[in-house]
Amino acid sequence: MATTALGIRPDGDNQGVSPSVHRHIISAQWNNDGIIQGLGVTGRSDLAYDVGAGTALIQPDGQSGEAVLAYWPGGQTEAVAAGNAGLPRYDVIWLRAHDLDKGDSDNHVVVGVTQGTPAADPDLPLDQVPSDVVRLTAMYVPAGMTQTSSCTTTGAERWAMPYGASKGLLGRNVRNYEGPANMGDGGKDYYEQDTTFFLPTDRLIELRFTATACACMHSNPSKPTENATEMACWYAGFQLDGKDVEGGGGQFQVSRAWQQLHLNALVSVPSGWHTVRMRNHRIGWGENVYFIARTDSQQTYPGRTLEIWDRGVSIG
């Protein structure tokens, strides 16, 4: 079947870019559907939600590669039910592009709401959201809600990302503690710096850990470096969703000098919510580890820093 490139005029038989080809071209430029600009959702003094003006990428046929770009001028959703007397719920607000070729009565862009089931620990009603929409956000509806101004967003807005683009810094956790390590038992694991982040699609991420440390005596940790007669060593490693990251850990050996130490790892991570943390334990020889976190007249020594960086699309 012959196709026509976008930007080329139709021929004498009025054959040009079909809606399907146009959608494929749009889709190829984006990694996923979602918000491009605007479309913020806020509560009101009644039972509707306000959706600000903005543009989104919608995959009306799921993720089949036929996307449309939809602009919403701003407006409100239909009214939702008041909150359950004793149980909270979630509402999911979405944007849809009507299509006359697919049986819709018009070709308008509309907003809508899928209401969840009230529960003590409610779930997002994602399985009830229509498949031909783009989710804008989810709102937490407290028990007894009578106006949506009392609802709060979950912060999990779905953003469209140009193909190959990076989201940059996804999370940063700094532990500004200075003093001897609390890893008294050699080999016993200590978990710290839990950091949660969200990925709209499968991504390649880089985990980075930096610390400044030296050795100190077990019996007199108040004078780091001064009394240390041996080196000190501890293990630090990344964990993703409670499991060690392959190749993402190692032993760090420190002396009397204040040494800055670095650890990093690249890992492919599926879309959704994830948690990264550090797993630490002291190696059973030498002096104790002493962490540095201070600013003096000559230099700044940041605390132990865990960072999560997006490095682009995960392919293969």
Tell me the per-residue pLDDT of 106-133, one tens digit each, with 9 for 90 and over: 999 999 999 999 999 999 998 899 988 9
In a domain, 158, yes or no: no
Please check whether residue 182 lies inside any domain of the structure. yes
Query: What percentage of the chain has pLDDT greater than the value 70?
Result: 92
Same domain, 176 and 307: yes
> How far is residue 86's CA from residue 120's CA, in Å, rounded to a whole number?
8
Last residue of a domain, one of 153, 180, 200: 153
Condensed to tens digits (0 to 9), the pLDDT of residues 179-204 reads: 777 666 656 788 899 999 988 778 89
The reply to whether 8 falls in a domain is: no
Looking at every residue in the chain, the average pLDDT score rounds to 86
Query: Do residues 76 and 205 both lie within one domain?
Result: no
13 lies in some domain: no
- Statement to judge: residues 97 and 130 lie in one domain: yes
CATH number of the domain residue 225 falls in: 2.60.120.760
Residue 63 has pLDDT above 60, yes or no: no
pLDDT at 183 (0 to 100): 62
Among 38-52, 91-105, 243-257, 274-288, the range with the most confident prediction by mean pLDDT is 38-52
Which residues, at least 6 apart from 14, have a Cβ–Cβ distance to it below 8 Å? none
Same domain, 286 and 175: yes
Domain-terminating residue out of 153, 186, 217: 153
Q: Whole-model pTM?
A: 0.60
130 and 248 co-located in one domain:
no
> What pLDDT score does 142 carry?
94
CA distances from 240 to 79, 106, 243, 278 (A): 40, 47, 5, 9
Specify the pairing of strand 232-240 against strand 243-254: antiparallel
> Do the Cβ atoms of 23 and 66 come closer than 8 Å?
yes
- On whether both 187 and 294 belong to a single domain, the answer is yes
Residues 177 and 137 in one domain: no
CA gap 132, 232 in Å, rounded: 58
On whether both 96 and 188 belong to a single domain, the answer is no
Question: How much is the pLDDT for 293?
Answer: 84
Mean pLDDT of 62-86: 88
Q: Which two tokens stand for residue 11?
A: 């021929």
Question: DSSP character for 221?
Answer: T
Domain count, the chain: 2
pLDDT at 40: 92
Closest-CA residue to 284 (of 187, 154, 146, 183): 187
Identify the band that residue 308 occupies on the pLDDT scale cut at 50, 70 and 90.
very high
pLDDT at 256 over 60: yes
Q: Residue range 42-48: average pLDDT?
A: 94
* 144 & 195 share domain: no
In terms of Cβ atoms closer than 10 Å to its own Cβ (0-12, 13-18, 19+), residue 224 is buried
Instruction: Give yes or no: residues 299 and 207 share one domain.
Output: yes
Predicted pLDDT of residue 131 = 84
Residue entry with tokens 């959704």: 272
* Model confidence band, residue 218 (pLDDT cutoffs 50, 70, 90): low
Query: Rounded to an integer, what distance in angstroms lies between the CA atom of residue 134 and that of residue 57?
Result: 7
pLDDT at 79: 95
Claim to verify: residue 111 and residue 174 sit in the same structural domain: no
77: how many CB neighbours lie within 10 A of its CB? 20
Range of the domain at 128: 19-153
**Interval 259-269: pLDDT, tens:** 889 999 999 99
Lowest average pLDDT, out of 106-120, 220-234, 272-286, goes to 220-234
Look at residue 101 and give its three-state secondary structure.
Answer: helix
Looking at residue 268, its pLDDT comes to 93
CB under 8 Å to 240, separation ≥6 — which residues? 207, 267, 269, 274, 275, 276
**Which of 269, 207, 216 minimizes the C-alpha distance to 238?**
207
Average the pLDDT over 272-280 and give the result: 92
